[in-house]
A and B are shown apart, each in its own frame.
Chain A
Amino acid sequence: MIHTLRIVFLSLLFLLPGCGSLGTVQPTPGAAASTALPEAGKQAQLAINEANVTLTTAAAVIRGNIKDQIWTKEQAQGYLDKVKLYRRDVDRAQEAVDAGNFINAAGQANAVRSLIVILHREVAAQARKEGAK
């Protein structure tokens, strides 16, 4: 039952209105008024935060799918390896922010976030495939 629900949820995932926002960076009104970062730095940091929230979610999905035996160990490890790879990219963007290179940082964060969205789609497609077996 849980397996079926998970497949249904994953299948619906990219049809949900909120998921459309995954492809674009969402503004964060009023965020961190007290921060010392200039506006460009703040926007870069927010993009990084959004990428990190997405990675956190991806890791939780992977954990759930291996725990519920939806995926094999190899499948789950493959996806988690990608998450780790993207984490490294996001951390590089963070280093750029910390160094004051805000334009590069925002570009890096948005680029890796696009890759993370692709990973999510792969995850959903794979779950649908497994559910159809």
Chain B
Amino acid sequence: MSQSKAGSIAVFADALISAVVGKLERDVIIAKVQELESSGANLDDISKAIRKMRDEAIDAAQGEIDKAR
């Protein structure tokens, strides 16, 4: 399995994600990218998947804020 794309994103986000929100969060992003790669996804597919993860993360943060007092 080629890990070049996932590896690059990992290098970019590794310290940030690992330090702040933990390894699990990082693994979720990288695993999803690797899953796409192994299924033959191209850059367009991967870009769309990253955008989806971004929007879900923002929605989740907004949901948490809305729940807070």
| Number of A-B residue pairs with CB-CB distance less than 8 Å in the complex they form | 148
Cβ of B4 under 8 Å from chain A: yes
Assembly CA distance A7 to B11 (angstroms): 23
Once the chains bind, are A62 and B61 in contact (CB under 8 Å)?
A: yes
Once the chains bind, are A67 and B57 in contact (CB under 8 Å)?
A: no
In the complex, which range does the number of interface residues on chain B fall in?
A: 35 or more
Task: Determine which residue in B13, B16, B69 has the highest number of CB atoms from chain A within 10 A of its CB, and name it.
Answer: B16
A residues 95-111 in Cβ contact with B at 8 Å:
none
Of all chain B residues, the one with the shortest Cβ separation from A64 is B21
Once the chains bind, are A57 and B16 in contact (CB under 8 Å)?
A: yes
Chain B 15-58, CB-CB to A under 8 Å as 1, else 0, gives 11101110001000100000000001011101100110111011
Main secondary structure of the interface of A (DSSP, over half): helix
**Chain A residues close to B by CB (< 8 Å):** 6, 9-10, 12-13, 16-19, 21-22, 26-32, 34-37, 42, 45-46, 48-50, 52-57, 59-64, 66-67, 69, 73, 76-77, 80, 83-84, 87, 94, 120
Q: List 28 A-B contacts (CB under 8 A).
A: A6-B20, A10-B20, A16-B16, A19-B16, A26-B12, A30-B2, A31-B43, A42-B43, A46-B43, A49-B50, A52-B47, A53-B9, A54-B16, A57-B13, A57-B21, A60-B60, A60-B61, A61-B21, A62-B61, A63-B57, A63-B64, A64-B20, A66-B64, A66-B65, A73-B65, A76-B65, A87-B55, A94-B51
